[in-house]
Structure 1
Amino acid sequence: MRAFRSLLAYALCSVAAVHAVTVYNQLPLAAQSTSTPSASDTAAAAAPSATGNYTGLAAYDPTTWPPPAIPNPAPATQFGINVMPTADQVTGLSINTPSSFYGISIEMSVVTQVLGINASFINVPFLNLMSLLAERAGQVVIRVGGNTQDYATLVPSTQDGKMIEKQSIDPNNPTGTPTIIFTDEMLYMLSNISTFVNIKWFLGVPFNDTVNIHMEIVEQGERIIGDNLLGFQVGNEPDLYLQHQHRLPGYDFNSYYTEFGQWRDAFNNDANVPQKKTMIGPSLALANPESWTLEDTWNTGFLPNYVDSLYALSVERYPDDNCAAIYAGFGPVTYPPSVFPNYLSHASGRSICAALLNSTLVAQTYSLPFIMFETNSASCGGFAGISNVFGITLWALDYGLQMVYSNLTHALIHVGGQDVYYNPFTPPPTNQSTYHQWTIGPIFYSILAMPEILGNSNTSRVVDLFANSNNDLTPAYAIYENDQLARVALFNYMDDGSDAMALNVAIQVGGGNGQPASTPAQVKVKYLVAPSVSEKFNITWGGQTFGGEFESDGRLMGQETIQTVPCDTTAGTCTINVPAPGFALVYVSDTAVQDSEPAATATFSTTALTKTVNTATIDQSVLATSNGHSGKDRFTGSTSKGSSGASRAAGVIPSLTAVFAVLATVGIFFKAFTS
């Protein structure tokens, strides 16, 4: 029998999250020493830190590593940058980039932990975080899919009444990904979320059976989510299907081309799918050098034959992986400090993007967006003390701007759960959700800062300035809006525990070739800083923070600070200090500030009373017609304490009016079921 409990509501409470490559059938890692990595090929769900002193959940691992040593000789700490005032004077600018460049990728199997239990029980901290992004970028793009999408089936109902139910796990599948079933409740939840915050969705389709194609998620997705649904991902990392034992030997790019065509035909022949140009592919991982490339896919005739059905082209890429710590056959386990320097270098993002330049050009030829559909610091959960520290904040911001410069349209940062290190945000464990709030990871600061760097016009064009003699520790970018210089982004990856490696960058606008500079009399500067690249929580963006572990309800804390820096009008330069480590966003005009900062941010209260039962009452006549269908045929639970479902009418999805009432009301509880 199902056990029911009333959860402390926060108003629409926090729930636990799960991972990414999504690993479920996991065993604890053996303890590791501080000097040599373990060779254990086990899982990270309860992985101890590399120090050997922590045996809890990876998302709360306190492990940190010393900052890498500054190279000898060190980069120059004083240098100049000359930026042109208008785009027509610049070579190599990117195409126009949407303000919502950075988005979120969520594994389909974990939406109940990250988004909410059902269409009427939505996690308020999640709404607050997304509201921060939407106020800066206009909208947020989120993908629900991943490995679990390939074996996910939309069903009329589940045995226990839940929105998502995990089925069997194939022991031969190295990702440990479960087969899941889900109901249209999930689609209603996505639709309801978009009513609160302007979120646009990508959905993954089941790609396990291309003979008996399951179009249900496409049909119901278009019907329920409507204009807030952008497209459908057809195939997730198909270049790894052989390695994951999802296809028979011999499967290659020609096989994927054929299967994609079968899905294209299913889209075109389905009268219940009015929007046909919504398919997304090929979403290659490019992680196996023995597999195929994007160019192999294009050479099949993929684009000329399928362009009329494509919303976008896509790829999924991580700079590294920690899979050897989880799965057998992946070689020696990576010792995290050995890869820390790789993430404190401009070369990281540049090397990833270099392999994509031909494909972004192909996408432009066919007038299609090119999307990084899933990325983060390292696949298989990231690295302890690397993926969850301030160094990754700087890395992700640099990587994101490099993707913009390389003409990608969006990049979606993957969200996991308790068993990963790299989360942008993590709900508390379920058994602590009544008293703990969310934990915001360092990489979320990158996601938050990106729309402010780009501005809100959706006309931003970015250029890599190859600053400081193209030094990888001190990169810089210029951002143009409406073809006018708006902002300059300055990075300093160095950290020696002192101010000795702080930068002083002299920016000159225009000038040269006998022409006078047009440097303004003053500029504004906003800083993203932390005491060290190894810092986990003491991170501020413009003086504001999300606090420490279990401290956030999704709202920024503190007063924003933007500094005014006077310029040397005689020399025609503005000298900007960039802390070591740190990031500085330089606004060259007041208009650039106005086009970057949100006027206001809608937030949702999470204050609640405790141990209250049945405080919310909803008109059943309203419920019966909510979301366009009768509630009497739906069942998700009961509002009667201890009941296992005596009243089906109580289990229907509340109307959006009811959901709004819940968000606005302090002290309301909802009944939720836990297994």
Structure 2
Amino acid sequence: MACTDSFILPTFRRSFLSLSLVFIISAFSCSCRASQVPVSVTVQQGDVSGTVVQDNFLGISFELYPFNTLWGESPQQMPTAMENYLSNLRARIESPLRIRIGGNSMDSAIYVPTQTEMIIVTGDPAAAPDDVPVDFGPMLFKVLDAMENVVGQMEFIVGLSMRNSNYTNAIEVASDTRKMLGYRLDAMLLGNEPDLYATNGVHPGYTIQEYITDIGEMLQDLRNSPYGDLVLDTIVGGPTICCDWNLSDVLSAGLSKYPYEYYTVQHYAKSICSGPNASNENITYFVSHVNVPAYTNWQKQGVQMANDARIPVLVTEYNTVSCGGSNVSDTFAATLWAIDAGLNYASSGMSGAYLHTREYGILYNLFDPPSPETSIEPNWRTGSPYYAALFLSETFMAGGSIVVDLNLDNSIYDPAATVAGYALYDRAGMKAKRLVFFNYYRADDPGSESAVRNFTLEGGLATTAGVRVLAAPNIYERTDISWAGQTVGLNGELDGTQTTEYYYDCAMGCNITVPGPGAALVLLDDAPDDSAFFFGSSTVAPLS
């Protein structure tokens, strides 16, 4: 049957900073061009409980070692591309943008207060690529402040090393961090992945109980430092474990008796630390929603203990494949997975999650300069995970959201499901305000549904809906990715016309169309003249 009643109308929203095409499409016309097997969407209204997450749920985690090649050597040498990359995210939220500086290189680093350079590499990066030894100086904090002045309000998490039982250097870091960052400092994390200290030879045979003893001593030293009480307020976090310990065991062993602002964990879906294999190069793992809840709930008992104690849990590093990523880490499959995982973390009791990025050439990076030596120039490479950050920065609501996995097509339990979805409720859990739909279509899978899928909203859910789409030609795509009609340019700027689809006549139900592969952010009861989407340009440093 031919579709004859659809039409496209360019509209101009009030206070536009740039032109935006808005496609106004009837529910009937959308259903004509989608799969004949619609996905039924049932959304509970009222009495929904869960962790309330803020609009800055998604943060970015930076490894210390290459930080100067990404943010610049000084406030006068900050790459305009990084200014734009961060501004794109900051402009889409009301709360401060969350930034973490840490990783193994932070835990092994030496702070030199008199050092004028931001970072000096003191060892061979090739000898230990996942733990490069560096010295760093106060220029790090000056650049953090300067970037915030350009991009907008940020809040920073900074790591303190626990590898040396003499905490004198960590105390110097804490003192200068507090003094130079001021209100911008969100937390200081004590140690990084102490559960691997034994495995990595840092402290042979290191146990949870030894760790708890060390934490007590470190906190005591921070309280009685030559610079005064550096933890007078609740500003520390940890244990920042990843692999060999459970959060519940660490809390039960005694961490829960200390005043912590956050409990922190880190988690990657796969590992390539021992080399490539069929598991870490399996792209189908990352386009099956059934794998996501198992991944995000690996610390379920500890998260529940933290929630009961009203202490937020942060995932301070997450990404596809640890130790640098595999050949799937820079694909569109990784983009979709990072969004799905982020939303599932939010639905599983976490209060924040940070996508991790490292030095030049790492496959899971969000962005790379032309080379480590030429970061102030344009021609940056945008990694596919950056589009996940863009999507998520526009997804969570100011004022708080409760996120619920809708289990569409039994996708939590059925490996054959090719769709997934979430509802975002107001902080009271009374009304669904936003929806997210995934179409995990694979052209090379003969069992896949049609590339385009309809998600059928039930009547009474909303009268209208505004929709923005994330799309790529296939799950293997690395560069031809778009969010709301825009792609990221060579200097971190968003190129193209920002597009939003508006669906009318949804009072009795309507079909939301999602291309395959792709994802859609749906704002219920949204309209062109009163939209909650971000409109306009977020570029702060255009190319001249």
Q: What TM bracket, shorter-length normalisation?
A: 0.7 to 0.9
| Residue deviations 1:514-570 (CA, integer Å, cap 9, x gap) | xxx424343222111111011111111111111xxxx4211111111111223465x
Q: How does 1:416-565 map to 2 (within 5 A)?
A: 416-430=358-372, 433=375, 436-455=378-397, 457-470=398-411, 471=414, 472-482=417-427, 483-496=430-443, 500-508=450-458, 517-546=459-488, 551-565=489-503
1:194 and 2:148 aligned: yes
Deviation, 1:314, is 0.4
Instruction: Evaluate the alpha carbon distance shift between residue 241 and residue 490 of structure 1 in structure 2; reply closer, same or farther with a 3 A threshold.
Output: same
Match for residue 541 of structure 2 among 605, 616, 620: 605
Match for residue 182 of structure 1 among 132, 136, 148: 136
SS at match of 2:66: helix
Deviation, 1:77, is 3.8
Aligned residue in 1 for 2:83:
127
Aligned residue in 2 for 1:87:
46
Letter in 2 for 1:563: E
Letter in 1 for 2:425: Y
TM-score, normalisation: structure 2: 0.86
SS at match of 1:244: coil
Residues 334-343 or 595-604, more deviating: 595-604
Q: How does 1:309-328 map to 2 (within 5 A)?
A: 310-325=260-275
Deviation, 1:494, is 1.6
1:164 and 2:135 aligned: no
Match for residue 284 of structure 1 among 241, 247, 258: 241
Match for residue 240 of structure 1 among 196, 212, 223: 196
CA distance in 1, matches of 2:128, 2:418: 37
Deviation, 1:594, is 5.5
Instruction: Evaluate the alpha carbon distance shift between residue 520 and residue 211 of structure 1 in structure 2; reply closer, same or farther with a 3 A threshold.
Output: closer
CA distance in 1, matches of 2:520, 2:513: 8
Letter in 2 for 1:311: E
1:100 and 2:56 aligned: yes
Deviation, 1:418, is 2.4
Instruction: Evaluate the alpha carbon distance shift between residue 584 and residue 267 of structure 1 in structure 2; reply closer, same or farther with a 3 A threshold.
Output: same
Give unpaired runs (5+ residues) of structure 2. Answer: 1-34
Letter in 1 for 2:135: I
Aligned residue in 2 for 1:619:
none
Match for residue 296 of structure 2 among 335, 347, 353: 353
Contact 1:372 1:410 in 2 (8 A): yes
1:343 and 2:286 aligned: yes
Residues 222-231 or 410-419, more deviating: 410-419
Q: How does 1:266-305 map to 2 (within 5 A)?
A: 266-270=221-225, 271=228, 273=230, 275-286=232-243, 291-303=244-256, 305=257
Aligned residue in 1 for 2:6:
none
Instruction: Evaluate the alpha carbon distance shift between residue 588 and residue 207 of structure 1 in structure 2; reply closer, same or farther with a 3 A threshold.
Output: same
Deviation, 1:381, is 0.9
CA distance in 1, matches of 2:449, 2:118: 53
Deviation, 1:431, is 5.3
Greater CA radius of gyration, 1 or 2? 1
Contact 2:270 2:279 in 1 (8 A): no
RMSD: 2.5
Residues 478-487 or 418-427, more deviating: 478-487
SS at match of 1:254: helix
Aligned residue in 2 for 1:145:
102
SS at match of 2:268: coil
Match for residue 308 of structure 2 among 339, 360, 365: 365
Contact 2:100 2:158 in 1 (8 A): yes
SS at match of 1:377: strand
1:209 and 2:147 aligned: no
Match for residue 341 of structure 2 among 392, 396, 399: 399
| Residue deviations 1:578-619 (CA, integer Å, cap 9, x gap) | 2221112222112799674235555333536xxxxxxxxxxx
| Residue deviations 1:186-245 (CA, integer Å, cap 9, x gap) | 111112222222111111112121234320110001001100011111111111111111
Contact 1:175 1:244 in 2 (8 A): no
Deviation, 1:169, is 5.1
Instruction: Evaluate the alpha carbon distance shift between residue 453 and residue 415 of structure 1 in structure 2; reply closer, same or farther with a 3 A threshold.
Output: same
Contact 1:486 1:592 in 2 (8 A): no
Give unpaired runs (5+ residues) of structure 1. Answer: 1-74, 326-332, 509-516, 609-675
Percentage of pairs with the same residue:
25
Q: How does 1:326-337 map to 2 (within 5 A)?
A: 333-335=276-278
Aligned residue in 1 for 2:112:
155
Instruction: Evaluate the alpha carbon distance shift between residue 525 and residue 156 of structure 1 in structure 2; reply closer, same or farther with a 3 A threshold.
Output: closer
SS at match of 1:364: helix
Deviation, 1:374, is 0.7
Deviation, 1:275, is 4.5
Contact 1:507 1:576 in 2 (8 A): yes
CA distance in 1, matches of 2:158, 2:184: 11
Contact 2:104 2:130 in 1 (8 A): no
TM-score, normalisation: structure 1: 0.70
SS at match of 1:428: coil
CA distance in 1, matches of 2:148, 2:232: 19
Contact 2:130 2:323 in 1 (8 A): no
Deviation, 1:481, is 2.3
SS at match of 2:274: helix
CA distance in 2, matches of 1:170, 1:126: 23
Aligned residue in 1 for 2:28:
none
Deviation, 1:247, is 0.6
CA distance in 1, matches of 2:215, 2:173: 16
CA distance in 1, matches of 2:471, 2:178: 43
Residues 438-447 or 587-596, more deviating: 587-596
Instruction: Evaluate the alpha carbon distance shift between residue 433 and residue 580 of structure 1 in structure 2; reply closer, same or farther with a 3 A threshold.
Output: same
Instruction: Evaluate the alpha carbon distance shift between residue 434 and residue 409 of structure 1 in structure 2; reply closer, same or farther with a 3 A threshold.
Output: closer
How many residues are treated as equivalent by the alignment?
Answer: 496
| Residue deviations 1:388-437 (CA, integer Å, cap 9, x gap) | 11111111111110000001111111112323111111111145557642
Contact 2:502 2:528 in 1 (8 A): no
Deviation, 1:262, is 1.2
Aligned residue in 1 for 2:29:
none
| Residue deviations 1:430-472 (CA, integer Å, cap 9, x gap) | 45557642111111111111132212x2311111111113344
1:259 and 2:214 aligned: yes
CA distance in 2, matches of 1:87, 1:552: 45
CA distance in 2, matches of 1:354, 1:592: 38
| Residue deviations 1:272-298 (CA, integer Å, cap 9, x gap) | 626441111111112xxxx33222211
CA distance in 2, matches of 1:375, 1:187: 24
Letter in 2 for 1:240: L
